[in-house]
Structure 1
């Protein structure tokens, strides 16, 4: 993962050879292992490129990369399939080699159509003064843009600036395709025209009928001097996933059966579903494709194999390379169980479990400084009964803490040889407010709702991994050093996991449910993924999303809706039915039956500060204004 940035100016007076200090700091936090800047000057424009690398694969390759013809490349991504990258190779260098050999626009689009994995990039073609940039189909890597000085300058960056005058100008680059700007032509005009190469469904031969609408939507969020137009050749990228199967059953009664004649099984038990041969086969296929996705995301990491035998670490000292955002729910449990298949058996896996507590129940002020550095971690008194419920019990009231501990026991039973590190991350109201003001709100922006605040803060603290390890009779401070963080996002969107899916099904049936799922996937880049990438990346860690692996999405898209979910069944069974059946097959019987619980409620961050808020409301706590002290004072009084 990397922090990438490009600042372009079409007038000398607006060009600076240095990035703003806070922007540079934000980029360095994302890429702590290497960083450098590069300037390209022309009579018509000037470009400053800045790249900061988190080394995870192959030989450490500093960015930006320079080509013999003056080309410049910045890459924030992972090539998991589609383009050949050997284990010892660096995908940034491989991608630049391919780009350097492209002869025309069609070759560039073919390359990015082939890549499977998360990515955002910036590519400067010196020969024709073109600047290309964009995000992958799902928008799994953040990329922001801002335009200022009436079009005389603009910027692209993985993360925005904290400065109040600039922070509100940054917007997410839509994951609508790849954009190209002719820098030489733009320098001679008073307006900026971005050419879009949109994604096209593999089921369609022509440019999507909705392309013009897409252009209008993108342009609507931009200043009046910036417009987006279709490229002259009407070229497109190939969508990397199969189209959604919207087939409806021949009769309404077929949907609740999930392939089992006679309606739902007696007692509604998941085991009964697995007695049907077709259902069992489909569940096995899901486990196989999801296992492969997890495998691609936990291998090829720097590990201890290169240490001499005398330097082999003990189990307590060995550090986890992979962590899971862990609630104990079915999504994170399945991801953890599949990671266990592919992470070396002598390597721990960190399970990051976060809980929030109101100020009056939180850690006393005298210990707050230590908590701020390492996470609140209280050791039971000597009078505590050995083996009793471990850890600071005031945090145990958070629902995700209870399910996390139960999930740990289930994983330990399924794989007793593995060192499972349940990292209990306890956050006080004081620490939440302090770090939101200092860091988190700047990362969450331009997302700005109450829901963005809750999820962004919870994910930031969880990914930081500062908490404690709890075992019978032993509680010790711990900070996860895993650079790869697996998250279950994408499961609810594809498998009808949200309450709104059930509401849509009740009013519009399976056809409406199909439409809702299609909408969920179409908007996941703008609702979730850019925000989560910025928040997790702030710790020098990389978010990886197995449920959004292209092969996993294609497989799930190929199934009719009634094989994925059955919303005639109660909560805890019907939503994400196919994933619950997979959990049963993996031996995770208890977590397979847990109802869906959103992270903001499971961690107890929702309603922590204000009770009358709605998730869709604009959140004042996320706003960055020049009246900083006034905002802090108002928030403290609230």
Structure 2
């Protein structure tokens, strides 16, 4: 994870520092705490200036400060991970590898070919000195954040950055669309005193006919968020990037209504899953899925620098064992499978941190009478609470820890027991992260609203806040029956995002299926992946990166997506079956094969409900509403 930033001015009377906000620099440094430096490029005869600012989180090879500059004055900023497509040696740094490949590119087609070959998340900024060109963009899924902001026609300024800051004055920061790679001809723009962008779009097929079909729609999509004085054109050569995944298989197969393992359609049990696995073809398919997903997890847990004492083969003492990998962990099917697969590849002597967040149950916080005021569901939470923890107090607030026994905490503890049963030799740190209303308000106002920005809905607020506290990793772990304060040192955070979008995990998928059948479900799933960059991934990257940690998404590994895209939807989900079985069916079967038990039939529960953040402040909002809490207020006004 890195923080990258570039500011361009086309007017000689302006300095780039006129447009560089110190608050933005602070946010960038938090993303890249291991190295920070800046480089100013001035082309006096053309009256343009570029400031490049790089902030590095060291994860691979030797520490490589950014920006990089070569003997030909090319400059490179990279925020990404190469997991496949371009070879990166075990001791190499992928920033240097990418820069070396770019230096060999002799044409636009060479640059596009290089980025088309990459497998892994990335955003980048590349100054090609000989052609006065500035290239930038995000990967196909938009797994790394990149924002842009345009000055007015008089300023002639243009800014790119991994993260910005919200302001009472809307300065029109927007996410760079993950529609392709952009290029600016700085020489032409400086002469014309106006900005013009050239787009090279992603396409499954790069034939001239296929590109022509989508040029208009892609242009319209990108143009709608650009200021009127910014010109956007497709490249004259009709060049494009080849998509790193195959198209979605929309074949509709006839599915037998007789399900193995049960004669009653509303029965939810692990025996139902076992019945499916008794079919040889289904068992083979699930084995293939496990193989490709396991490889994706392997790439994400091994591509990082580990402590020398753990690389020498010596077993460090318990006190010195350090987790390098953490999982955003609810105990639900997605995070359980990710954790179980991480266990197969993380060195055994190394702990794995399971980050489990809970927001104070509102009824407890207000000290309402449980018998008369609690909803039925909250009473059930109290009944399920392990009595040993209910008497403990939060070290910071003195609040009884039973106030944090939200659904995700209960399933998280149950999930921990399942993982311990699979591998009792592993140290599993269930990090119980407890958040009060007061701390939520304080941290949202201080920083979280800036990280969510420019997104602004109630859903963005709930998910963004939950992920920020979870990925910070400050909580308690159980040590010999005692809860001890703990802060996760892991720099890599695995998240299960992408499973629901591909495997029909959301309730809207069931609604779409009920209304329009498998054809409607296919359309919904295709739309999910097409919009995941703008709905989720840029936001989550900014949120997790704020802690000097890197988000990694195994379900969005290109090989995983291509495998799932190759299957008819009926092989991935069966929404004629009840919740807890039908959605994400292939993943539940994989979990069963991996030895997981009760978690394999847990129904989908979104983080905003499982962590109880959605109930903490307001019960009357809609997820799509603009969130007033993300606006800038003073602490006294909250």
1:219-266: CA deviations, max 9, x gaps? 1101111122100101000000011000011x4xx1656899999799
1:372-431: CA deviations, max 9, x gaps? xxxxxxxxxxxx987989775424431000000000000000110000000000000000
The correspondence of residues 434-445 of structure 1 with structure 2, limited to 5 A, is 434-445=442-453
3-state SS of the aligned residue for 1:218? helix
User: Does 2:177 match 1:174?
Assistant: yes
Contact 2:389 2:402 in 1 (8 A): no
3-state SS of the aligned residue for 1:458? helix
Number of equivalences: 607
Q: What do you get for the CA RMSD once the two structures are aligned?
A: 2.4
Contact 1:359 1:430 in 2 (8 A): no
User: Does 2:426 match 1:418?
Assistant: yes
Contact 2:431 2:477 in 1 (8 A): yes
Structure 2: stretches of 5+ with no match in the other structure: 368-385, 394-399
The correspondence of residues 256-267 of structure 1 with structure 2, limited to 5 A, is 256=257
TM-score, structure 1 normalization: 0.91
Q: Which residue of 2 aligns with 1:300?
A: 303
d(CA) in 2 for partners of 1:238 and 1:601? 38
TM-score, structure 2 normalization: 0.91
Moved more, 505-514 or 39-48: 39-48
Q: Which residue of 2 aligns with 1:6?
A: 6
3-state SS of the aligned residue for 1:149? coil
User: Does 2:521 match 1:513?
Assistant: yes
3-state SS of the aligned residue for 1:451? helix
Q: Which residue of 2 aligns with 1:466?
A: 474
User: Does 2:246 match 1:245?
Assistant: no
Cα shift at 1:512:
0.3
3-state SS of the aligned residue for 1:86? coil
Contact 1:201 1:208 in 2 (8 A): no
The correspondence of residues 367-516 of structure 1 with structure 2, limited to 5 A, is 392-471=400-479, 473-516=481-524
d(CA) in 2 for partners of 1:594 and 1:359? 24
3-state SS of the aligned residue for 1:14? coil
**Structure 2 residue corresponding to 1:524, chosen from 532, 547, 551:** 532
User: Does 2:97 match 1:98?
Assistant: no
d(CA) in 1 for partners of 2:539 and 2:82? 21
Contact 2:502 2:525 in 1 (8 A): yes
3-state SS of the aligned residue for 1:160? coil
**Structure 2 residue corresponding to 1:601, chosen from 591, 594, 609:** 609
Q: Which residue of 2 aligns with 1:234?
A: 238
d(CA) in 1 for partners of 2:391 and 2:159? 52
d(CA) in 2 for partners of 1:620 and 1:118? 32
d(CA) in 1 for partners of 2:316 and 2:252? 56
3-state SS of the aligned residue for 2:130? coil
Structure 1: stretches of 5+ with no match in the other structure: 365-383
Q: Which residue of 2 aligns with 1:377?
A: none
Moved more, 573-582 or 391-400: 391-400
Moved more, 462-471 or 73-82: 462-471
Q: Which residue of 2 aligns with 1:540?
A: 548
Q: Which residue of 2 aligns with 1:381?
A: none
Runs of 4+ in 1 over 6 A off after TM superposition: 258-268, 307-311, 384-391
Cα shift at 1:270:
0.8
The correspondence of residues 247-326 of structure 1 with structure 2, limited to 5 A, is 247-249=251-253, 251=254, 254=255, 256=257, 269-306=272-309, 313-326=316-329
* Residues 518 and 359 of structure 1, relative CA distance in 2, 3 Å threshold: closer
Cα shift at 1:362:
5.0
* Residues 386 and 616 of structure 1, relative CA distance in 2, 3 Å threshold: closer
Contact 2:467 2:544 in 1 (8 A): yes
Cα shift at 1:15:
1.8
Q: Which residue of 1 aligns with 2:374?
A: none
Cα shift at 1:302:
1.9
d(CA) in 2 for partners of 1:408 and 1:310? 27
Q: Which residue of 2 aligns with 1:187?
A: 190
Moved more, 608-617 or 533-542: 608-617
User: Does 2:81 match 1:78?
Assistant: yes
* Residues 499 and 267 of structure 1, relative CA distance in 2, 3 Å threshold: closer
Cα shift at 1:191:
3.3
User: Does 2:65 match 1:65?
Assistant: no
